[in-house]
Amino acid sequence: MIRPGEACAAQSCPDGVIQPVTVRLTVNGRFVTRVAGAHFTLLRWLRDAAGVTDPKYGCGEGICGSCTVLVNGAPVSSCVVLAAQLDGASVVTALGLCEPDGSLSLLQRAFHEHHAAQCGFCTPGMLVTAAAMLADGRHRTRDEIRSGLRGNLCRCTGYGPIVDAIEAAQETSQPAAPGAPEAGK
Amino acid sequence: MIGGDPAATAEIRTSKENELRIVRQPLPRHDQAEKIAGTTRFAGDLALAHMLHARLVRSPVPSAVITRRDNSAAFAVPGVVGVLFGEDVPHNVIRVDVPGQTLEVAALKATMEVLATDRVRFHGEPVALVVAETEEALAEACELVEIDYAELPGVFDPAMALRDGAPAVHEAGNLLSEWDIDTGDIDAALGEADVLVEGRYETQTLDHAYLEPEAGVGWLDDEGVLNLRVATQVVEHYRDVARILGIPEAKVRVTAPYVGGGFGGKEDMTVEPYLALAVRLTRRPVRMQWTRQESLLARPKRHPMRMRYRTAARRDGTILGQDIEITADAGAYAYLSALVLLYSSVHACGPYKTPAVRLRARCAYTNNPPTSAFRGFGGMQVVFGYESQMDLLARCLGLSPAVIRKQNALSCGDVLPVGQPIATTVQLAETIDAVLVRVGEKPAPTGPRKVIGRGIASNMQSYGRLAWLNDSAAAWVGFQLDGSLSVRCGVPDVGGGQASSLAQIASEVLAVPMDRITVHFGDSTLTPLAGTTTATRQLLMSGNAVYEASVLLRDAILGAVGRQTRQPVDGLRLELEGVTGPDISVSLPDALVTCRRGNVPIESLGTFFGPKGAQAVRQLRSDRVFPDFTFGTHVCDVEVDLDTGQVRLLRYVAAHDVGRAINPRSVAGQISGGVVQGLGMALLEEVVVEEGVNMTAGFFQYLIPTAADVPDIETIVLESGEGMGPFGARGIGEPPIGPPAAAVASAIHDALGRRPTALPITPERVLECASGLNRSAESDQGKAAPY
């Protein structure tokens, strides 16, 4: 009954002594330096050390996607990577998707417009995955959007409104050019 | 105050129907922006200075006597503040009675220990509570709590548990509850039937699998009040916490921030008593965050049920009677099992006229994980039973599945087998027509070893609590001097838009724009208590309470302005511009000043009392068991791969009569979310328990549908205008989860000619059905006429 990653790391330190390390990350555009246990997952580092709580703990196994953040632009389950391994990286959470004045971004407005959040617990992770989809410039069909969301579970919406929102944001952000480069392929 | 009689308020609710401004608008919910910006703080997101952490040590075995407990090694870990056993709990009893604003239901008498002292009855039962400065100390200390168990024989099947000589889970025996219904002459019905259809059906153990695991933070405030900010559907558990600690109820406050999904899994207490004990011990803030593994292991599940149906009908398809047996597994502790089984019993014949019924329902203790509330609350497992029977009957008689359902559908005024007349219009036939028109022609298969099937399933599901629970909800609505509006209501918002709907109702009545309304919710001390967010009751209960308070407030303001301006009140209206009449227009702030000068409050409290009915005992008979019901029909098309057993969902259309859609987007969201959760039950999900050991330890084993597993859910919202909620709304939280498993099973039956009767319908089970197809005629269970 221990989050697996933490349990393993804690046991590797004799007598419960935890090795503290300094980790420097750019979080949502701001430099953040924290001393925390070497065994801290990125999720725990963000939530407990840096006070950034929009990535959520949902399963601790890298399956549910509630903890998804962008690490150097790529979506990552922050519950299964160690913060210490990422020293110097740039991390973006859902909060970091907002415009500089705090207003909702185009993607977030599409989520708002399409009723894509119910309880809202999966939403930050869902948004980050969606932002990564939009960022690669590839135009996706509905089925491709659904496929791209496989790593983010939602128990409230039935997914349709989320797919609607991403589809709409995709149309607004970049008029789909046929034969647009398929980044990442 | 509004009473339970819908007729008393029907006029006021429908007279303005044609002029609705805000209600029925598909507005973005008022809580969306913060959730999408990532700023909503859920229960586990709160961190307080000098906060401690707490964790439970749970039983690793399903049935044992505790022979020794020693906390000295754990207590010696640096940073550990406390290691508690049952003896350290002032009143070591959780009374898992009906929670909320109700009288106790004596029949339940269900109790369990907060921390087990000498006996454990399921894998995962809490035995010790550890409190520490850090998560690391906590983890180490939990490993060092020494507990010795002498294992006892257990019983892991409800039918076995009811046999003579079965290991006793509790001293009083393993039978937790039984309900009977005897209506009409079932033996005569069985005798005179042209056709008898018999089926046995099994549903599985299920987990709610909301994305937010159980969590909360507790602290003592400056008045010495114990505060618990937890993910819960029931802030009224403050009473249970007070009882456990032996302190006055007025010294405990439970608040529910926005909850990351509930579905019934946060109806019983989770972290509350443990946080309370840890705060009491340390007088410091404490956080408890359950892991997903812990949540899957130990929180109550959905009841697996075994159902046997014998359906008697005439050659023309008219149902004469149902002979039904239901056996449910309560697991190791009662929780709400007796009531879940009552729901199964009352709903067991579905939305169909059934003149003769013999029903025997039993619920037994086992050493499996406890089972309790889960969306649909026993009223949904039986859909798999009665809708399977309807399809088999249609096949037997060569009738269309749609026609046989419409032919037997209940109407307003028909009496349910339990004795309750249906009090509002039933648009079941309309929902059947609506989904069939929408779904159109069956598609063609995509390959040679693939077959297409179509399935339809209807259901009824109650909304509102049992009519003898004396249910009530209160809400306070008050203007600020600038004309903005505050609503206070104790409703927990579990993500279904519970708070936002209240804003929309108040906005409608009081003509205040949505962005000038704040809803304060889910606080057992500072918001009027509104009862549990369960049983699809909040729109009915807190919705009517807010409606009531808003109407009182509006009328008071119009009265004050009328007196001051010497205008007849019935010519005045509250509009966006303020109070208007044939000869006057008074701005809202001026009207509010008028009220203050005239000693007229600019706030009001509304209380809504649920409809009442006579309490039923074991022999279920009552003029009113539930306030009312919501009806609906789903249809789905599937493609079955004959080689792999894979079932691909091609189309899914769901229609429900919601009475009045307060917010059509919220309604559609409830339907599509409920359908996908139901599809998980149909095809994917199962908590696997072997000899009492819960083998399902993570989301890598408990598979809920992903976006790629399901199609777009096409929703059709019908508005008969006849529900008992505000503006004629019906509840829609639970109803959509009922039909999917039956609809999918019927589609597979349609494709393969044989019916899956156990859930989930895994590829292995599909291939079993497909083997019949290969053997041709011998296994065919008849053929239904086309839709």
Give A108's contacts in chain B (Cβ within 8 Å): 36-37
Which pLDDT band holds residue B95 (cuts at 50, 70, 90)? confident
Report chain B's mean pLDDT, rounded to a whole number: 94
pLDDT in tens, B143-202: 999 999 999 999 999 999 999 999 999 988 899 989 999 999 999 999 999 999 999 999
Which top CATH class is B6-40+472-609?
A: alpha beta
- Predicted pLDDT at B787: 79
Beta-sheet strands, E only, within B184-304:
195-202, 215-220, 226-230, 252-255, 286-289
pLDDT in tens, B287-298: 999 999 999 999
Positions of chain A with pLDDT lower than 50, given as ranges:
1-16, 175-185
For chain B, say whether A124 makes contact (Cβ under 8 Å): yes
Q: Which CATH architecture has domain B305-466+615-779?
A: 2-Layer Sandwich (3.30)
> A155 vs B29: CB contact, 8 Å cut-off?
no
Query: Which site among B211, B291, B649 would you substitute to test the A interface, given the most A Cβ atoms closer than 10 Å to its Cβ?
Result: B211
- Predicted pLDDT at B786: 78
Query: Which site among B31, B36, B58, B514 would you substitute to test the A interface, given the most A Cβ atoms closer than 10 Å to its Cβ?
Result: B36
- Predicted pLDDT at A2: 35
- Report strand pairing: B713-718 vs B573-575: unpaired
CB nearest A16 (choices: B140, B292, B672): B140
Which pLDDT band holds residue B18 (cuts at 50, 70, 90)? low
Distance, CA of B233 to CA of B44 (rounded, Å): 15
Q: B695 and B297 in contact (C-beta within 8 Å)?
A: no
- Report strand pairing: B713-718 vs B647-657: parallel
CB nearest A16 (choices: B136, B497, B669): B136
pLDDT in tens, B631-647: 999 999 999 999 999 99
**Distance between B528 CA and the closest CA of chain A, angstroms:** 23
Domain B43-152+214-289 fold: Aldehyde Oxidoreductase; domain 3 (3.90.1170)
pLDDT in tens, B305-328: 999 999 999 999 999 999 999 999
pLDDT over 90, % of chain B: 91
CB nearest A63 (choices: B140, B699, B710): B699
For B85, B310, B628, the CA distances from B386, given in Å and listed in that order, are 47, 10, 20
- Predicted pLDDT at B171: 87
- Predicted pLDDT at B166: 97
Query: Which site among A119, A129, A144 would you substitute to test the B interface, given the most B Cβ atoms closer than 10 Å to its Cβ?
Result: A119
> A120 vs B260: CB contact, 8 Å cut-off?
yes
CB nearest A155 (choices: B142, B211, B665): B211
> A37 vs B58: CB contact, 8 Å cut-off?
no
- Predicted pLDDT at B774: 57
pLDDT in tens, B435-489: 999 999 999 999 999 999 999 999 999 999 999 888 999 999 999 999 999 999 9
> B263 vs A155: CB contact, 8 Å cut-off?
yes
- Predicted pLDDT at B12: 36
pLDDT over 70, % of chain B: 95
Q: Closest-CA residue in chain A for B46?
A: A53
Secondary-structure percent of chain A, ordered helix, strand, coil, rounded to 5:
40, 15, 45
- Cis check for the bond before B760: say yes or no (omega within 30 of 0): yes
Residue B50 — φ and ψ, nearest 5°? 60, 30
Pair of tokens at residue A21: 């390390």
Distance of CA B676 to the CA centre of its chain: 15
Chains A & B: contacts with CB separation below 8 Å: 194
Average pLDDT over residues B250-276: 97
> A1 vs B291: CB contact, 8 Å cut-off?
yes
Residue B8 pLDDT exceeds 60:
no
Average pLDDT over residues B407-426: 97
Residue B10 pLDDT exceeds 70:
no
Q: B737 and B383 in contact (C-beta within 8 Å)?
A: no
Distance, CA of B403 to CA of B87 (rounded, Å): 62
**Distance between B346 CA and the closest CA of chain A, angstroms:** 27
Virtual torsion, Cα B70, B74, B76, B82, nearest 10 deg: -90
| pTM assigned to the model | 0.94
> How many CA atoms, within 13 angstroms, populate the side-chain half-sphere of residue B416?
28
- Predicted pLDDT at B492: 97
- Report strand pairing: A90-92 vs A68-71: antiparallel
Sequence length of chain B is 787
**Distance between B713 CA and the closest CA of chain A, angstroms:** 7
Residue B125 pLDDT exceeds 50:
yes
pLDDT in tens, B741-756: 999 999 999 999 999 9
Buried/exposed B13-48: b ≥16 CB within 10 Å, e otherwise: beeeeeeeebbbbebbbbbbbebbbbbbebbbbbee
Domain with CATH 3.30.365.10 in chain B: 6-40+472-609, 305-466+615-779
**Distance between A61 CA and the closest CA of chain B, angstroms:** 8
Q: B725 and B400 in contact (C-beta within 8 Å)?
A: no
For chain B, say whether A88 makes contact (Cβ under 8 Å): no
Distance, CA of B441 to CA of B404 (rounded, Å): 20
**Distance between A35 CA and the closest CA of chain B, angstroms:** 15
> B707 vs A149: CB contact, 8 Å cut-off?
yes
Q: Which residue type is seen at B554? A: R
Domains of chain A in start order, with CATH, are 4-94 (3.10.20.30), 106-173 (1.10.150.120)
